[in-house]
Structure 1
């Protein structure tokens, strides 16, 4: 659906969609076909799976959910700098992300340091309790920053009602407009 909407709004962008769990050669779902036709779009599409060649071709890989992004990062770590959720890419500025990434890295370094200096006979619960105490300031700062970030997931309508497909279409439409604006600003 995202590919159809993006191509409709700007046919000059070379975009290809693929699924992490998609079979090869499947047509659009009935729900997708229906809600696209409601806005006058028809789209000839057959599914394909994500693969290494497609990821190498892409300058940017936008996923619909953070779980999809994480799955790709685990399967293709060499390409992970290209991976964003659509909402992440259009809603969060680079400064916010850099600040959060730095906090995550600092937190992980401190966590590893504390783990390496703990007694070996502690239970998992005791380790967790100590880590929470030692890292409470970092956890609080991270939680405050994360609270300012909206949900980064687009609803997956597959197998749901036509109304959910409509809501997903409209959500995609809104964020694709933001994507086009951001891409336009990056070119200027």
Structure 2
């Protein structure tokens, strides 16, 4: 696949994180009872960045964890007969909390559905919200993000590639075809 265009650079990603952080605070009238849960792999560093930004704005830290949805995928049999499970890391109670799931790209909605199942196996949140860096459309399930860094209309033949310093040594979002 060849790169078609760069959609976001380091500064654009930082601006999107700042905007999403402010929107989370505004929508929830503060940060009381909010927890962030990043969906592995790239949702985790995005959740951590949102946590740091919210802490700068509000002066308080939000509990942040990570969830591995590998065993909740509906295509597991097609993808891998011996999946690698990296495990979830949520060291706080999510009961009666507002859980904000964080991921890099929202596409069909299947990853989010898997994350919802995984969260419900852990506890009973008051509400679950969704924050994504990029929403590219093409939903197969009735899923909508509450917070979006950038909406990018795509064709089904294109791929959105998110690279983050924490996982890929650079910050960028590109579209490939």
Q: TM-score, normalised by structure 2?
A: 0.30
Q: TM-score, normalised by structure 1?
A: 0.29
Relative to its length, the structure with more helix (as a share) is 1
Relative to its length, the structure with more strand (as a share) is 2
| The structure with more radius of gyration | 1
